[in-house]
Amino acid sequence: MIAVRCFKGRKVALFGLGGSGLSTARALAAGGADVAAWDDKEDARERARAAGIAVVDLAAADWRDYASFILAPGVPLTHPKPHWAVPLAKAAGVEIIGDIELFCRERAALAPRARFIAITGANGKSTTTALLSHILREAGCAVEMGGNIGVPVLELAPPSEDTIHVIECSSFQIDLAPSLNPSIGALLNITPDHLDRHGTLENYAAIKERLVAQADVALVGLDDAPCRAIADRLRARGRPRVVAISALATPAADIAVDGHRIVEREAGGIATALDLRGATTLRGVHNGQNAAFAFAAARILGLSFEDIARGLASFAGLAHRMEQVGRFGRVLFVNDSKATNADAAEKALLSFSDIFWIAGGKAKEGGIEPLRPLFPKIAKAYLIGAASDEFARTLQGSVAFQRCETLDVATEAAARDAEASAAAEPVALLSPACASYDQFANFEERGDRFRALVAQWIAARAPASAHASISRSGS
């Protein structure tokens, strides 16, 4: 744990007592702050009390007593409307920050030269964070990985010059981190996402830009218009140093993916390349982009081509992101539960053919209409959750579909139809293009359930078959 000492002896208010919020409250208390914590849910308040955190009704508190207000990233700051605690803090002139900001302040106090890589993007940030961390560990580096992936940032070891922190940052966390200043900031891509929390794509892009704007080195993707505009603005400003990255073989990129190679262009027109064919878990153009970003960061940190190639080849992949969870005969089962919007689901649909597609949940703006060009790859769709009616209207006349409502019914139907298919490698794919909140607590729970259902289906048919395999990796 990082004991947050920047508020030692002072009172701070905190709202949101989920995983990262409770972690933040403990870190503040460990650093000597007087924490007044609250959550709208009684069970969350009880967990905080059990952890020794003081629970105070912030609706009735005197906000003039507080030096800062720590807001959990899942709590609305601006859209669709601010949480009731936000205007109370603003009226009292109390700053509103989050856990990433606390990490940045502790880094500045403890080890300002400590290497800190912050990674964001609409899609791919978790895979890139996990991949870079794996490459660095395989090369013998001391790495702490967390933030929006796995471990909350304040649960990690404290910043030091001997440790590299690789932190995934969501737009919500960036919005609450005004002094975010990583050694390397990576902005992979920007597509419409979380617009219910940011209002417009322009607002969303402006928040993402903050992560790279104050970095020592900015890695910026060139494969979408908002990111290209950000790269141009940073270059025009003259800082930070910008490394442009593309999943396409574009001459405008400093690092690009050209077929199965990552190509690094250097001064004087010199180009060197790293072969990606050994990285068997990084399938698809989108994973080429993820690999290129991890490659770029690793090169800046001083790793050799050999170190990076070894890490790429041994990377097991990310749970819930195009995770191969089982095989029965010709049928491949793929868990892509992390695809919570159409753009993320597109990556999986592009990577396979003869797809038996499980989709649905709580729909994002635009639904699956952007995926229409990929409909010919889909043998049949199996619709679950609140988006079933909307998705059915989009698919009508273009893709055969079945309304399944629940994941267990959909998995059984997709597996059965894929097994009956004459395709060389039919793929039963969970890539929902939706949030999970209508039926599951999060995408991890949804993916874990799919993995278990696949295991049950395979075990029931071939408990000792040499042609069946089940992945037992956890989330």
Supply the CATH number for residue 45's domain. 3.40.50.720
Cα(138)–Cα(136) distance, rounded to whole angstroms?
Answer: 5
Alpha carbons within 13 A on the beta-carbon side of 396 = 7
**Is position 6 within any domain?**
no
Q: What mean pLDDT is predicted for residues 401-417?
A: 98
Q: Which domain holds residue 165?
A: 100-314
Residue 17's pLDDT is 94
Cα(449)–Cα(466) distance, rounded to whole angstroms?
Answer: 24
Cβ proximity of 195 and 207 under 8 Å: no
Q: Is the dihedral of CA 385, 390, 396, 399 positive or negative?
A: negative
Supply the CATH number for residue 410's domain. 3.90.190.20
Helix (H) / strand (E) containing 115: strand 115-120
Burial class (CB in 10 A: 0-12, 13-18, 19+), 195: middle
Cα(433)–Cα(123) distance, rounded to whole angstroms?
Answer: 12
Q: What mean pLDDT is predicted for residues 448-473?
A: 79
Please check whether residues 282 and 428 belong to one and the same domain. no
Q: What mean pLDDT is predicted for residues 450-458?
A: 97
Supply the CATH number for residue 267's domain. 3.40.1190.10
**Is position 448 within any domain?**
yes
Residue 246's pLDDT is 95
Cβ proximity of 71 and 98 under 8 Å: yes
pLDDT digit string (tens) for 353-384?
A: 999 999 999 998 889 999 999 999 999 999 99
3-state secondary structure of 212: helix
Please check whether residues 432 and 343 belong to one and the same domain. yes
pLDDT digit string (tens) for 12-64?
A: 999 999 889 999 999 999 999 999 999 999 999 999 999 999 999 999 999 99
Cα(440)–Cα(442) distance, rounded to whole angstroms?
Answer: 5
Please check whether residues 294 and 437 belong to one and the same domain. no
Last residue of a domain, one of 314, 334, 359: 314
Please check whether residues 408 and 431 belong to one and the same domain. yes
**Is position 53 within any domain?**
yes
pLDDT digit string (tens) for 335-355?
A: 999 999 998 899 899 989 999
Token duo for residue 108: 């500045």
Helix (H) / strand (E) containing 109: helix 99-110
Task: Domain count for the chain, please give it.
Answer: 3
- pLDDT-derived band at 475, boundaries 50, 70, 90: very low
Last residue of a domain, one of 314, 337, 361: 314
Cα(250)–Cα(385) distance, rounded to whole angstroms?
Answer: 40
pLDDT digit string (tens) for 100-120?
A: 999 999 999 999 999 999 999
**Is position 475 within any domain?**
no
Last residue of a domain, one of 49, 69, 97: 97
Residue 317's pLDDT is 83
Cα(343)–Cα(314) distance, rounded to whole angstroms?
Answer: 27
pLDDT digit string (tens) for 158-167?
A: 999 999 999 9
Please check whether residues 348 and 247 belong to one and the same domain. no
Question: Parallel, antiparallel, or unpaired: how do β-strands 143-147 and 115-120 relate?
Answer: unpaired
Q: What is the pTM of this model?
A: 0.81
